[in-house]
Chains A and B, each alone.
Chain A
Amino acid sequence: MDADLLLRALTFSAGYNAALVAVGATLLGITAGAIGCFVLLRRRAMVSDAISHATLPGIGIAFIIMASLGGEGRFLPGLLVGAAVTAGFGLWAVEWMTKRTRLTEDAAIGAVLSVTFGLGIVFLTIIQTLGIGKPAGLEGFLLGGAAAMLRAEAISVLVMAGLVAVVIALSWRRMVLVAFDQGYAETLGIKTNHTDRLMMLLALAVTVIGLKIVGLILIVALMIIPPVAARFWTDRADRMMLIAGGLGGIACFLGTAISASGDDLPTGAVIVLTATCLFTISMLFAPSRGVLAAWLAWSRFQKVVHRRQGLLALSRGEPILEPVSRRLLAREGLLQPDGVPTLEGKAAARLVAEDEARWALARRRDPDGALAGRYDGLTPITQVLTPDQIAVLDADVRGQPALVAGVGGGRLAHE
C-alpha cells in the first residue's frame, strides 16, 4: 500500500476517472446499506446471495451474444442487462422451488447459488475456448476491480446507483412499515408481497451495479454488515437506514481508495474488510447499545448496588466482607482501612437506613400500588416522592417504631 497514492485517492486528486469511480462506489455503498436494512429485517439476506451468484451466467451469455454479433463483448451496460436477466431468473427459481416443491428455502437458495455459479464458470471457459473477443476482465466480476474501470463504465455505475437511491428514497416508508409491522401495513392498504418484490428487485439492482466494483461473491456482505453495524447506533428504522447507508458509503469510498493504492488488493475484499472495521467500531463504541456503553452502565450500576448494600450493612452494625464494597466505600472516605466506618460513613449509613425504612413503610401500606412498583433497592425515595409526602411518611415511621425494627433498621431507633 502506498500512502501517497492512498492520500491522493482519498482527496479525489488521483485523476478524473478515479474520482468518478470513488463517487460511484460511495453511492453504491449507500444504496446497498439502505436496502440491506430491509433485506435483513425481512430475513432475505441469503436470497440476495443466490441472486448475486446468478448474475454470472448472464454476464457470460451477454458477452457471447455481443461478441458474436461483432460488437465489443465487454460493453458494460450490455453485460449488466444479461446479469440482471439471469439474476431475476435466480430469484424466480428460489421462489418457485420454495412454493411449488417441498424443498425448504435454504435448500432452494443453496441449489440456485451453486448451480448458477457453476453454469457461469462454464460460460466463462466457453468464452476462453471460442477465442471470441478478449474475455480478460470477466473474472473481475467475481471479486470486483474498481481500478480497471473505464470512464463510461464509472459514469453508468454512477447513474444507475443514483436511480436506485431515488427509488429507495421514494419507497422507504412502505418498506419500513412492511418490515416492522406487516399486519398494520396491510390494514393501510400496502400490498406486502408487492413491497417484498420491490425490495428484492432493488437488491438485485444493487447487486448488478456492484458487480464491477465489489464483485458478485462479496456484494451480499455490503447488504449485511452495514445494517447490522447501524443497529448498534439506533433503535429507529429510519435512522438505521440512514446510518447503514452512511456506513456502506464510507466503507466503499475508503475501500476503493485503499484498493487503488497498492497491488494485489482486490477491491471487493478490501471494501468488505473496511465495512467489518466499521462494524467492530460500532459494536464497541456506539452509545447506548455498544459494548463500551454497556460496560460503563454496568459498572455504574455495580457501584450503586455496592454502595447502598455496604452502607445498609454498616447501619446494622455488621462488618463489610465484600472486597468491592469495602474498596468503594474506602475510596469515598466512608470507611477506614480496618473496616470501621468514619464519621461521614456513619452519617451516610444513617441516611440510607432511613431511606430503606421509608421505602419499607410505603411498600407495606400499598403493596400493589404504583409506588411499590418503583422500588428496586437502589433509587432513593426522595427521587420518587415530594418533600411533603416524605414528611407525612416520616411522621408515620416515627409513630410506628416496631415496623422500623421489623425491616432490620432497629438501630435507627437507638441512634
Chain B
Amino acid sequence: MNEFIALSLIPILIGIFASLACALPGNFLLLRRQALIGDAISHVVLPGVVLGFLVTGAVATGPMMLGAAAAAIIAVALIEVVRHLGRIEAGAAMGVVFTTMFAAGILLLEQSDTSQVHLDVEHALYGNLESLIWWQGQGWSSFLDPDALAALPPQLWRVMAATALVSVFIGLWWRQLQIATFDPSYAATVGIRVKALNLALVILVAVAAVAAFDAVGSIIVIAMMICPPAAARLMTDRLGRQVAWSVLFALLSAVFGYVLAGYGPLWLGADNAVSAAGMIATVSGVILALACLFGPARHRIAG
C-alpha cells in the first residue's frame, strides 16, 4: 500500500485531474466544431513555454504560463497579419502559423541547454507522468503531514487548480454556454455576450492545456479534449448527460491507462512499464471506438 501511495497514487491523480481539466471544456469545443483547438493550442504554446523556461531556467508555472499566453497572443496576431496582408483564408493562415510556431519551439528546445531539467521534445509530447512520484508518501497518514504534503509534485496542484477553474467556470456559466453553443444568434438576442464567452472558453482551454502539458505532455491534452467528449456525444442527446459521461470516460481513461501502462507489462512478464501518457490516450481511443460501435446515440440525427 505504501508503495502504491508513493509511486502510483500521485501520477494517477495528476492523470485524472489533467484529463478532467481537458475533457470538461472539450465538450463545448466538440459541439462548436472547434475540436482541433486543443491541437492548435498545444502546438502554438510550445515556443512560449520553452522561452518562459529559458528566461527563468526552471520549470516554474508563472513564467511558463506567461510565455504560453504570450505565444497564444502572438499566434492570433500573426494569423490576422497573414490573413490581411496575404489576403488568404483563415484556415490556410492558421496552418502556416501553427506549424511554424511549433517548429520554432522544437528548434528552441533542441538548441537550449536543458540538461539540468527534464524538458525536451519527448517530454513536451508525451510528458513523464511516471516520474512524478511522492517519496514522502509513507501511507495514508502522510496526507495529514504538512512536510510530506509540501513535497508533493507541484504539477498536482497545477492540474487540480486548472480542473477547479474549469469546473467553476462551466458551473457558473452553464446556461449561457449551453445557449451560445447550440444557438449563438438566439444567445445574442437574450443578451449573452457570445464573443466574450467564446474568448473566455478559449482562454480556459489554453490554461487547462498548459497546466496539463507540463505534467502529462501535449498528447494527453489533445486526446482528452476530444475522445471522452466525442464518446459521450455518442451516448446521449442531452448536454448535461454528455458532460457527465465525458467525466466518467476521462476518469476511466486516466485510471485504466495508468494501471495498464504501469502493471500491464509486469503481468505479461516484462520488467518495465510503458508510457502512461500514451496508454491513457490509447484507452480513451478504445472507449471512443466502443462508443462508435455501440453508443445508443451514435447515428447522425436525420436532417
A residues with CB within 8 A of B:
40, 43, 45-46, 97, 100-104, 106-107, 109-111, 113-122, 124-126, 128-130, 139, 142-143, 217-218, 220-221, 224-225, 228, 231-232, 264-266, 268-270, 272-273, 276, 279, 283, 289, 291
Contact = CB atoms under 8 A, between A and B. Distances in A.
Interface in B28-84: 30, 33-36, 38-39, 82
A394 B21 CA distance: 79
Contacts of A119: 278, 281-282, 285
B300 A102 contact: yes
A130 B274 CA distance: 10
A221 B226 contact: no
A114 B281 contact: yes
B133 interface: no
B219 A114 contact: yes
A115 B227 contact: yes
Contacts of A276: 96, 100, 103
Given A113-B222, A289-B87, A221 B100 contact: yes
Interface in B162-219: 219
Contacts of A126: 265, 274
B65 to A, nearest CB: 23
Contacts of B261: 122
Contacts of B226: 107, 110-111, 114
A221 B99 CA distance: 6
A231 B96 CA distance: 13
Nearest to B280: A118
A114 B272 contact: no
A115 B288 CA distance: 10
Contacts of A289: 87
Interface string B91-113: 11101100110111011001100
Contacts of B249: none
A197 B298 CA distance: 25
Given A104-B33, A221-B99, A283-B82, A121 B104 contact: no
Interface residues of B, number: 64
Interface string B204-246: 0000000000000001101101110010011000000000000
Given A119-B285, A218-B103, A268-B103, 17 more contacts: A97-B292, A102-B297, A117-B219, A118-B284, A118-B285, A119-B282, A120-B278, A122-B282, A125-B273, A125-B278, A126-B265, A139-B122, A143-B121, A218-B106, A269-B103, A270-B107, A273-B103
B271 interface: yes
A279 B125 CA distance: 27
A269 B92 CA distance: 19
Contacts of A43: 91
A36 to B, nearest CB: 10
Contacts of A101: 234, 292, 295, 298-300
28 contacts: A45-B91, A101-B298, A102-B234, A102-B297, A102-B299, A106-B33, A106-B36, A110-B39, A115-B227, A115-B284, A115-B288, A116-B285, A117-B278, A121-B126, A122-B279, A125-B272, A125-B273, A125-B274, A126-B274, A129-B273, A130-B270, A142-B125, A218-B102, A224-B99, A228-B88, A265-B107, A265-B110, A272-B100
A46 B272 CA distance: 35
Nearest to A110: B226
Contact of A122 (B82, B225, B271, B278): B278
A273 B110 CA distance: 14
Contact of A225 (B30, B38, B96, B122): B96
Contacts, number: 195
Contact of A114 (B106, B122, B223, B279): B223
Contacts of B288: 111, 115
A232 B86 CA distance: 8
Given A100-B292, A119-B282, A111 B300 contact: no
Given A102-B233, A115-B284, A218 B298 contact: no
Nearest to B274: A125
A114 B227 contact: yes
Contacts of A231: 88, 92
Interface of B: 30, 33-36, 38-39, 82, 85-88, 91-93, 95-96, 99-100, 102-104, 106-107, 110-111, 121-122, 125-126, 219-220, 222-223, 225-227, 230, 233-234, 261, 265, 270-275, 277-282, 284-285, 288, 292, 295, 297-301
Nearest to B225: A110
Contact of A121 (B265, B271, B277): B277
B226 to A, nearest CB: 4
Given A118-B279, A266-B107, A228 B95 contact: yes
Contacts of A269: 103-104, 106-107, 110
A279 B96 contact: yes
A118 B234 contact: no
B79 to A, nearest CB: 12
B261 to A, nearest CB: 7
Contacts of B82: 283
Contact of B274 (A114, A117, A129, A232): A129
- Name the residue in A220, A266, A269 with the highest tally of chain B Cβ atoms < 10 Å from its Cβ: A269
B30 to A, nearest CB: 6
A291 B219 CA distance: 37
B273 to A, nearest CB: 7
A121 B35 contact: no
B252 to A, nearest CB: 15
Contacts of A46: 36
B293 to A, nearest CB: 9
A107 B126 contact: no
A294 B100 CA distance: 25
A130 B272 CA distance: 8
Given A122-B282, A231-B88, A266-B110, A115 B99 contact: no
A120 B281 CA distance: 10
Contacts of B33: 104, 106-107
8 closest cross-chain pairs (CB), A and B: A118-B281, A115-B285, A121-B278, A221-B99, A114-B223, A272-B103, A129-B272, A224-B95
Contacts of B87: 289
